[in-house]
Structure 1
Amino acid sequence: MTDHDLDRCYTALCETLAQVGPAQAPLFLSMACLSLMSRFERAEEVLPLLAHAHRQCAAEGAADGPPVR
């Protein structure tokens, strides 16, 4: 996927999140993630991506406040 494609997808994601609103955002994100994960053949392809996203969130949380445990 090109940088332009990534930008288009990220923009669409942000716009959709704004449309569904904060109350429905977790449900939408869960549904989108499940749909994207189903395109992989094995859990071993998905699990490292989830771990990476978790580490990124933990690092952001550490910058905003007390250490994440």
Structure 2
Amino acid sequence: MTDTDLDQSYSAVCEALAQVGEARAPMLLAMLCLSLMSRFERADQVLPLIANALAQSDEGDADGR
């Protein structure tokens, strides 16, 4: 994915989150994650991505964000 593609995709997610609102954002993100995970062939391709996202989330909690 090019930088332009990544930017376009990120912007589309942000716009979708704004459109559904804060209350429905978790459901949108869950549905998006499941859809994207289904594109991988094996769990061992997805599990490191989950672990990385969790680690980054934990770092944010430790920083008080």
Q: TM-score, normalised by structure 1?
A: 0.91
Corresponding residue for residue 40 of structure 2: 40
1:10 aligns with 2:6: no
Shift of 1:64: 1.0
Corresponding residue for residue 63 of structure 1: 63
The alignment partner of 1:49 has SS state of helix
Which runs of at least 4 in structure 1 moved beyond 3 Å after TM superposition?
Answer: none
Aligned AA (2:64):
D
Question: How many residue pairs were aligned?
Answer: 65
Shift of 1:61: 1.0
Q: TM-score, normalised by structure 2?
A: 0.96
More helix by share: 1
Q: Which has the larger radius of gyration?
A: 1
Identity of aligned residues (%): 60
User: What CA RMSD, in Å, does the superposition of the two structures yield over aligned residues?
Assistant: 0.9
Structure 2: any 5+ residue segments left out of the alignment?
none
The CA distance in 1 between the partners of 2:60 and 2:2, in whole Å, is 26
